Amino acid sequence: MKKGLLWILDICIAVAFVLLMFIVIKPQYELAKINANRSKLQSSMFTVKAGMERYIAFHQGVKPTDLTEIYENIAAIEIPINPYTNKEISIDDILVFKYDVPRDFEDTSPEGVNGKQSGEPGQIGIGFFTPLGTDSIPTKYGIIGFDENGNPLIIIEGKKERVVVLSG
């Protein structure tokens, strides 16, 4: 009878140890997963910027005005992967918006123009500033990505938070 009780006690101790390890390790695993997805999103943002710059280089410095033109140049480099769905980012996963003020494309404040944008997790947003009276040719752009909550990707530097914006 004692051997059976000791065996059950050994099993309970082993299960408690595994459970304790799970409780300790799971939050760290989840945080690592979030950070990895955010890094992949940032990489996708750089791929979109490279596609934008490719278009600009082939068109004598003119910025693209059509989402199809942008996507074709992104696809010529590499189609980025949405880290939250593990699928290729399609043309529908790229949001286009307009900036009203010339310096908005550089705004990294979480309360600013880029910080107020929203989208689906893993989507990329491209904002354009077009001066009035210029035949709709944008002069500046900003690229933002949307995190697991659909908010702009934010990083913390010291005690300061900032929206990750790639501008050109």
Residue-wise pLDDT for 94-109, tens only, equals: 999 988 888 888 899 9
Q: Is the pLDDT of residue 90 over 70?
A: yes
pLDDT, tens only, 6-56: 788 888 888 888 888 888 888 898 989 999 999 999 999 999 999 999 999
Contacts of 139 by beta carbon, 8 Å cutoff, 6+ apart: 63, 102, 129, 130, 131
Mean pLDDT of the chain: 89
The pLDDT value given to residue 135? 62
Mean pLDDT value of segment 130-156: 86
Q: Does residue 133 register a pLDDT over 80?
A: no
